Amino acid sequence: MANEKITLAHGAGGKMSAALMRDVILPAFDNPVLDVLHDGAKLATSGRLAFTTDSYVVRPLFFAGGNIGKIAVCGTVNDLAMTGAVPRYLSCGLILEEGFPVEDLSRIVRTMRETADAAGVAIVTGDTKVVEHGKADGIFINTAGVGELIAGIDIAPQNVRPGMKVLLSGCIGDHAAAILAGRHGIEIPESLTSDCAPLAGLTQAVLKAAPHTAVLRDPTRGGVAAVLNEIAAAAQVGVLIDEDALPIREAVRGICDMLGFDPLDLANEGKCIAFVPAAEADAALAAMRAHPYGKDACIIGETTEEAPGQVGLRTALGGIRIVDLPLGSLVPRIC
């Protein structure tokens, strides 16, 4: 089918639907739990579970460092990881636009499989719908995920106290910058690609080193600014970060200057923010840095009793500027 295009018949539940499953989708996801004879998968799980979902509408579909399939797996794996869970199972809901090339679909589902393998999860159930040409935008993907919560770990914003350290696992804004460069035709160095990556290994290492970690969060839509504001508001602490400590690539700064963005607002797809008791902060930092996805990790700030609910940025010049939640549509369809 590689040279074909998706038709409405591929989504109608008849022979064409069955052929698309058999020839394209099931071979990519093939695993022992994916039971083609059921509309639901039977899971082998133990302990308490975490459950999450995200839909992915990123444009362009293929970009430096990944494609929509890679994000669709990483994003949901990461949401599970940030709850303090070991991700185990994913679902995959595809909405395809009539006319979408089967070849592109094949590439995307193969990437999903490779990323799932790398993240240690299995795609065990799914669904495919087709809508008329002009009623979608190529492909939208929803993944939901089930993970096993790690015993003894309690991740909750309410656990954040003043005096905790705020850790960041690496450079910010790479994903958004790669997408923006792709959209606007801006030339970027080869070293700047989306940071899209599955973080469950990194979060498990952090939680082993720092079991009293209060919060893990991946700064996707809304960026670091949104995560810090949410946690400050939920925990009613102040969050004070150092501008000098923020790891930002020159190329990302350049794109921000060119397009008028603040790197703190930019989406990341392979970064983790951790709120860790001061006593465990060095251990958590060492665990991040020992992981391939956390080599550039650093402590970017701390929580304070002052200014509860607010996020402050201590600038290079020594002043403090308030970091607000971005208002609206900075970069639409970033994930």
Closest distance to a copy of itself from the beta carbon of 189 (Å) = 27
Closest distance to a copy of itself from the beta carbon of 154 (Å) = 10
**Maximum distance among all alpha carbons in the chain?**
67
Judged by beta carbon, residue 90 or residue 192, the one nearer a copy of itself is: 90
Q: Which residue has the tokens 């052929």?
A: 19
Closest distance to a copy of itself from the beta carbon of 41 (Å) = 5
Judged by beta carbon, residue 75 or residue 277, the one nearer a copy of itself is: 75
Contact 216, 84 (CB under 8 A): yes
Residue 176 parent element (H or E)? helix 174-184
- According to DSSP, residue 54 is labeled E
Judged by beta carbon, residue 15 or residue 191, the one nearer a copy of itself is: 15
Q: How far apart are CA 156 and CA 293, in angstroms?
A: 23
Judged by beta carbon, residue 93 or residue 282, the one nearer a copy of itself is: 93
DSSP secondary structure, 224-269, as one string: HHHHHHHHHHHHT-EEEEEGGG----HHHHHHHHHHT--GGGS--S
Closest distance to a copy of itself from the beta carbon of 125 (Å) = 5
Q: Which of 272, 270, 285 lies closest to 209 in space, CA to CA?
A: 285
Judged by beta carbon, residue 147 or residue 170, the one nearer a copy of itself is: 147
Count of alpha carbons within 13 angstroms of residue 143, beta-carbon side: 30
Judged by beta carbon, residue 214 or residue 285, the one nearer a copy of itself is: 214
Q: Which residue has the tokens 């303090």?
A: 84
Closest distance to a copy of itself from the beta carbon of 329 (Å) = 4
Closest distance to a copy of itself from the beta carbon of 23 (Å) = 15
